[in-house]
Amino acid sequence: MQEIPVVRENRDASAEPNRVVPCHDPATLEPLGSVVAMTLDEVRAVVERGRAAQVAWGKTSFAERRAVLREILDHIVAHQEEICRLCVRDSGKTMVDAALGEVFPVCEKIRYVLDNGEKDLSPEPRASGFLMHKKAWVEYQPLGVVGVLCPWNFPFHNLFCPTVPALFAGNAVVAKVSEHTSWSAAPLCDIFRDVLRRRGHDPDLVQIVTGYGETGAALVRSGVDKVFFTGSPGNGRKVMATASEGLVPVVLELGGKDPMLVLDDADLDHASSQAMLGVFTACGQMCVGVERLYVMDAVYDEFVQRVTEKARALRQGPPLKETVDVGAMTMPRQLDIIEELLADAQKRGAKVLVGGRRRPDLGGQFFEPTVLVDVDHTMRIAKEEQFGPVMVIVRVSSEEEAVRLANDTAYGLGASVFTKDVARGERVARSIRAGMTVVNDYGLAYMIQALPFGGVGVSGFGRINGREGLRACCLEKAMVSDRVRIGGGVSVYPIRPATFDLTKNVIGTIYGSSIGARARAATGALKSLVSILRG
């Protein structure tokens, strides 16, 4: 990878000012350059190049696809710092956040696919029921071109994690990157393209398009065979509506309002440290970030004291200029949203113990790490996704109340439960309506790539990761062929007077509830068959 430039300028963007997408470092507000907002015709041309490239790629062996991913993984491991710096410049997160949230899960994703991808996508035999002379199986064939609509919070991760399984499944990928993190997209995409080119494949198997919402809509309308979208519920509805015009299937990951339940027997050292990780990693800008903490009376005061002390000690500032714990907010509008939600909560009785303000003195888009207590469900911040560095703590009197409030949400992505009693934790975890729940840790469900990732309710539908995620990138095709060749087959026409009785008795023979009933039906079927044969 080349040394990161201070400015990455797109020549086409500078030639047409009305189509410019400006890029800046959210931690310093330093301009980084610009990219072009692409039109529908331009997006369609990109998709067609991908479709042409996919024809040969779809015929490659799993061994060759593994070789490509292995080289990509080797490159990532050898260039971790450069990749992290690109992400930090574009999103404002710290280097450690980039390593843990961008590089680590991508490496684990590739490792899972290398080890399990061929097995997950190999033809799968299925029982053929009463048709014993036939064999049945499912094949997982490439779709063609997969469209990916990437959010802005993890520019490397959000490009790579959907692309890896789609590519391994034999598809081409066209990704529309966020206008807020477009600067890093080309060099990150070049990791795929350079490896593909070196191994003799068309680099147009992986391409990016840039622009605003109109470009995203153009990608959905461009003729792609499936769309993977990660973003807000509001935008997810727009994607789904646009996709319905062409009956394009979609997988929607639409964020969460994830609860953390701290029960009265929890290990508070561990629970408080995991709460810090779940709330303040990437400045809280994570779909699986901990947005609500339900802490039982018996441990509430001590837990609040612990997290308050830890939050006060957090250092914040431009992450490439000094060692800090918390970086900047990527999207300017998100600071307004956090302020609005905090103002509503304080008006209704909540108290800010730490933080609660912007930090314009730091020179960028910073919001202080915040601890908010005395929160209840009359407050917007208990119901709406805040996507920022705010620890929202609710006191509860019982396990039952904690579960009830945890489920009092339209979202249902992830959750976590802390207790020293593992059986209790698993019981509580089962009662929380979410796509995944972790006992005594935060966020590990995503790092276990064998598990499907996704939510319920307004958190979306469909799954990524695991065999479910790989197969979501495929046409699941049912196949039937001969196990034993039998001539003739079933002949229905012309229909005879006994044809219906024959059909009825065959059904009774196969599905009758007792041996006697099946025997009587078999006798009737034989009589009907003789009648038909006699003409």
Q: Is 168 left (phi over 0), alpha (psi -120 to 50) or beta?
A: alpha
* DSSP run (H or E) holding 36: strand 31-36
Catalytic residue set: 253, 287
262/393 same-domain check: yes
| Radius of gyration of the chain, Cα coordinates, nearest whole angstrom | 28
Instruction: Give the per-residue pLDDT at 16.
Output: 65
**Residue that has been written with the tokens 């319905």 in this structure:** 244
Contact 433, 412 (CB under 8 A): yes
Instruction: Give the per-residue pLDDT at 491.
Output: 77
In a domain, 81, yes or no: yes
Sheet containing 460-461, strands listed edge to edge, beginning at the edge strand earlier in sequence: 206-209, 172-176, 145-149, 226-230, 250-253, 460-461
* Cβ neighbours for 334, distance < 8 A, ≥ 6 positions apart: 285, 387, 388
- Using DSSP, state whether 432 is helix, strand or coil: coil
In a domain, 452, yes or no: no
165/296 same-domain check: no
Instruction: Give the per-residue pLDDT at 486.
Output: 83
Q: Which of 381, 373, 329, 384 is nearest to 351 (CA)?
A: 373
Round to the nearest angstrom and report the end-to-end CA distance of the chain.
79
Burial code (b: 16+ CB inside 10 Å, e: under 16) for 22-46 equals ebbbbbbeeebbbbbbbeeebbbeb
Instruction: Give the per-residue pLDDT at 17.
Output: 64
248/268 same-domain check: no
In a domain, 368, yes or no: yes
For the whole model, what pTM was predicted? Answer: 0.93
In a domain, 455, yes or no: no
62/110 same-domain check: yes
Taking CA atoms, 353 is separated from 336, 362, 373, in Å, by: 20, 21, 7
331-347, pLDDT tens digit by residue?
999 999 999 999 999 99
- DSSP 8-state assignment for residue 358: B
Give the CATH number, domain containing residue 423: 3.40.309.10
Give the CATH number, domain containing residue 249: 3.40.605.10
Q: Which residues of the chain have pLDDT under 50?
A: 1-14
DSSP string, 43-112: HHHHHHHHHHHHHHHTTS-HHHHHHHHHHHHHHHHHTHHHHHHHHHHHH---HHHHIIIIIHHHHHHHHH
Helices (H) and strands (E) in the chain, counts: 19, 19
379/234 same-domain check: no
Here the tokens at position 89 are 């410049």
The total number of structural domains in the chain stands at: 3
396/474 same-domain check: no
* DSSP run (H or E) holding 218: helix 213-220
189/237 same-domain check: yes
Instruction: Give the per-residue pLDDT at 488.
Output: 63
3-state SS string over 172-187?
EEEEECCHHHCCCHHH
**Residue that has been written with the tokens 């000012």 in this structure:** 17
Here the tokens at position 530 are 């003789």
Instruction: Give the per-residue pLDDT at 251.
Output: 98
| Number of other CB atoms surrounding residue 482 within 10 Å | 9
Here the tokens at position 518 are 């099946």
Q: Which of 471, 412, 460, 453 is nearest to 239 (CA)?
A: 460
| Number of other CB atoms surrounding residue 165 within 10 Å | 31
Here the tokens at position 527 are 């009589």
In a domain, 460, yes or no: no
Query: Which amino acid, residue 418?
Result: F
Contact 358, 333 (CB under 8 A): no
Query: Which amino acid, residue 125?
Result: P
In a domain, 487, yes or no: no
- Using DSSP, state whether 226 is helix, strand or coil: strand
285/172 same-domain check: no
**Residue that has been written with the tokens 């310093």 in this structure:** 28
338-396, pLDDT tens digit by residue?
999 999 999 999 999 999 999 999 999 999 999 999 999 999 999 999 999 999 999 99
192/316 same-domain check: no
Which structural domain, as residue segments, surrounds residue 236? 26-255+467-478
In a domain, 456, yes or no: no
**Residue that has been written with the tokens 């696919």 in this structure:** 113
Report H helices in 221-368: 233-245, 268-280, 297-312, 332-347
In DSSP terms, 207 is beta-bridged to 174
Beta pairing, strands 20-24 & 258-262: unpaired
307/389 same-domain check: yes
503/442 same-domain check: no
Phi, psi of 8 (to 5 degrees): -115, 100
* Cβ neighbours for 427, distance < 8 A, ≥ 6 positions apart: none
In a domain, 484, yes or no: no
400/301 same-domain check: yes
